[in-house]
Every structure is written in C-alpha cells, then in structure tokens.
C-alpha cells in the first residue's frame, strides 16, 4: 500500500511541474494549493531532495523546483524515495532475511510476479503522464 507520504510526494512534484516556470516555488504555496499541512510537506521534501528529485533554496525568492523534466521522472523512483518498501509480502522486502520456507513455498512465484508487475507498471509511468491525465 502506498502511504500518504508517497501520494503527497506525487502531488508536490505535479504542483512544482505546473507552477515552477523559471523560478522556485514556495512550499507554503504548494501546501495551500494541495490542501496539505506545510509541516507534513517539510517531512517529505528532504526525502525528495536526498534522491535529487528536487532542489531548494532558502530566503527571499526561495522554494523548490524539479531537477529534471517531468518525462524523466518515473513514478517508481518517486515512490521509492518516499516509501520504505512496496513489496507485497515481507519476504520480498528489501533487506529481508531469507525465509526458511522459501524452497518449499507454493506462493513465492505468485508474490514475485505481483511485485514485478507492480514495479514494471510504476516504472513505465512518468510524472509527465500524470500531468496529462484529464478528469471529468
């Protein structure tokens, strides 16, 4: 399950893509437009910054902006920056200990297939795809 942190990270990046033009976007403006607490955004932005998805400056004219074009961001990399893990089961989580039942597990192939399908889908969609989504 994708957490609120992951969903809000997508919303922040979409907002930046829509509003940055040639300048930095103040997070207080993003918070208002997105209806998200500024304090919560301040917890998400360092994760995005660590992965070089955004760059920020402080002071007058400060804020954040994208580091690359929207079509260069995959949804997978954005969610990887904010989520601990998107594995469908604990034994496939990054850094998990090898399950002692793995060699006899009748479901592991199913879970691996699900993980691969989800990863493939997330990595096939970009921020630009989300920007083009029309809602009625």
Q: What pLDDT digit, counting tens, does each position of 42-76 carry?
A: 999 999 999 999 999 998 888 999 999 999 999 99
pLDDT of residue 133: 76
pTM metric for this prediction: 0.88
pLDDT of residue 136: 43
Note whether 17 and 66 are within 8 A (CB).
Answer: yes
Where residue 126 falls (left for φ over 0; alpha for ψ -120 to 50; beta otherwise) is: beta
Can you tell me which residue has the tokens 């994760």? 47
Examine the pLDDT at 134 and tell me if it is beyond 70.
no
Examine the pLDDT at 21 and tell me if it is beyond 80.
yes
Examine the pLDDT at 135 and tell me if it is beyond 50.
yes
Domains of the chain and CATH, by start = 4-130 (1.10.10.10)
Q: What angle do CA 102, 95, 5 make, to 5 degrees?
A: 120
**What tens digit of pLDDT does each residue of 76-117 get?**
999 999 998 899 999 999 888 988 998 999 999 999 999 999
> What's the average model confidence in pLDDT over 18-34?
93
pLDDT of residue 81: 95
Measured CA to CA, the distance from residue 108 to residue 91 in angstroms comes to: 9
- H/E stretch holding 64 reads strand 63-66
């Amino acid at each position: 399950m994708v957490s609120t942190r992951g969903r809000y990270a997508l919303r922040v990046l979409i907002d930046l893509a829509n509003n940055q033009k040639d300048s930095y976007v103040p997070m207080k403006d993003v918070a208002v437009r997105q209806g998200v607490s500024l304090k919560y955004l301040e917890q998400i932005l360092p994760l995005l910054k660590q992965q070089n998805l955004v760059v920020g400056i402080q002071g007058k004219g400060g804020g954040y902006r994208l580091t690359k074009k929207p079509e260069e961001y995959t949804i997978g990399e954005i969610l990887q920056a904010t989520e601990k893990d998107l594995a469908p089961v604990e034994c496939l989580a990054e850094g998990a200990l090898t399950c002692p039942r793995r060699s006899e597990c009748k479901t592991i192939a199913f879970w691996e297939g699900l993980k691969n399908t989800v990863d493939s889908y997330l990595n096939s969609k970009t921020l630009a795809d989300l920007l083009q989504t029309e809602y009625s």
